[in-house]
Amino acid sequence: MRAARIHSALIVFLVSYAVLTVLGNLLYFSSIGDIVGWYSIHDFSISKFTTAGSAGYWALLLLPFAIVPPVAMLVGTVLRPILSPVAARLPAPSLPEYLLLLLACHAYVAASLWRANAIGLMFGGASFVMSSQARLDLFSAIGFWPQVVLKSVLFALTCYGFVRALMGGGPRWIAVSAFNLIAMSIALALLNMKWPLVLLYCAHMVALWLLVRRSLVLPTVAFALLAGAGYVAVTFLVLHAVVIPSANGLDHPAIHKSDAAGIAASALLNRMAQPYPYYFETFTLSPGKCGTLLTRIRRKPSPCQPSNLVYAEMFSDAFAGVGTAPQPPHVTGYALNGWPGALVEIVLTAIVLGLFAAMAGAATAEQATLTVIGALTGYHFSQLPFEGPLVYDHGLLWLIPLLLAVMGAHAIRTRRSALPSLAKAGGE
């Protein structure tokens, strides 16, 4: 258990990448590959890609398993004697301080969702296309910062509250954790997105596995059911997901449009796996088509963004140029700078995961929360370019102000508690 706790970020990264990207690509080369692919893209067949199945195709796909574990474990081993004690000594907010931060954030998010008419937009779409457009309209209306507060700051505060409850915080922390679970479920569902809601419940499961030694069957099943229910509910009730029809009017004979289980399962398999052959084909045949890593570092204009370009190649719909098909760091690095770009981005990813291994532990609620956040970061690295888990609306960068606020409140509280002692000593 201790090893799993220390390397939870690495484990989640590897498992998520294997299940959500590698597995689908293996299936595409099997006898059911075309059926799996057709659920998401009409006429999809891996045989249409000239580079699919090449040595480079498999080498890039499997690169994380060769690079990330040794680099992350080395970084974690070297830096753990330094960073683990620091993480264990992070200041703990008092319950009033925590509630002040929590309620302020919830109020800000609730007001932003209300102004954006989130409830109306959530149920306003009568089709998948209309629901997807409503989601884009919501993001535009709500803005970036409310999403940061919801997906990053409130997510971290919710994890912390649950960890405090698990570590014997008492009835008050249990009540706070229950409130967070309900409030966050509502707020994240209103975004018309599946994965943030699923990750909320998965974060609770990770905390249970890492911190509780007794039987976890019932709570794990409960959160797993919540995650599954949230995924299915948003997929069908909100987004109205259906099998995408063929452009030539012919659908795969093995696919039924009413096959809800097939739609849900294929969405899970295809979401990250299907863009991969497009990325490899596009940027192997046209290297540097969207610029390079250097142009982005220098903040120079780029001809295109890989995720937007690949989305447009995958889907001929109204969202071309707006829709994105992201990939993990090494695939995005390959798209920008070929093999050197892939190696640079996957090594940087491994270093970040190693830093979480160096800080991981359960000596305090603060360190345990960092461990849970590390596991979530591992998942995000399996889905997004390197900068995604750092600076997107759910990024780690936005937790720095939260940490500074907690440290400031702790310093003020410590100073106030020391004043009576100083006054008494002065009187003597």
Residues, the chain: 428
**How many beta carbons lie within 10 A of that of residue 390, not counting itself?**
17
Is residue 94 within 8 Å of 406, Cβ to Cβ?
no
Burial 212-243 (b: 16+ CB within 10 A, else e): eeeeeeeeeeebeebbeebbbebbeebbebeb
Q: State the Cα–Cα distance between residues 138 and 114, nearest whole angstrom.
A: 11
Is residue 8 within 8 Å of 360, Cβ to Cβ?
yes
Each residue's pLDDT, cut to its tens digit, for the chain (428 residues) gives 678 889 999 999 999 999 999 999 999 999 999 888 888 888 899 999 999 999 999 999 999 999 999 999 999 999 999 999 999 999 999 999 999 999 999 999 999 999 999 988 877 666 667 777 888 888 999 999 999 999 999 999 999 999 999 998 899 999 999 999 999 999 998 888 888 888 998 899 889 888 876 656 667 667 777 766 666 666 555 544 444 444 433 444 444 444 555 666 677 789 999 999 999 999 999 998 998 888 877 777 888 899 999 999 998 777 777 889 999 999 999 999 999 999 999 999 999 999 999 999 999 999 999 999 999 999 999 999 999 999 999 999 999 999 999 999 888 888 877 656 544 545 55
Is residue 245 within 8 Å of 256, Cβ to Cβ?
no
- Return the closest-CA partner of residue 402 out of 370, 357, 359, 362: 370
3-state secondary structure at position 32: coil
pLDDT, residue 275, reads: 96
Q: State the Cα–Cα distance between residues 186 and 180, nearest whole angstrom.
A: 10
Question: Which residues have C-beta within 8 Å of that of residue 245, sequence separation ≥ 6?
Answer: 42, 251
pLDDT, residue 4, reads: 81
pLDDT, residue 173, reads: 96
- Return the closest-CA partner of residue 163 out of 373, 388, 417: 373
DSSP assignment string, 162-182? HHHHHTT--HHHHHHHHHHHH
Q: Is 111 exposed, middle or buried (0-12, 13-18, 19+ CB in 10 A)?
A: exposed
pLDDT, residue 264, reads: 64
Token pair belonging to 259: 């096959």
Q: Is 171 exposed, middle or buried (0-12, 13-18, 19+ CB in 10 A)?
A: exposed
Question: Which residues have C-beta within 8 Å of that of residue 9, sequence separation ≥ 6?
Answer: 72, 353, 356, 357, 360, 374, 375, 377, 378
Is residue 385 within 8 Å of 332, Cβ to Cβ?
yes
pTM to 2 decimal places? 0.90
Determine the residue type at 354: G
pLDDT, residue 81, reads: 96
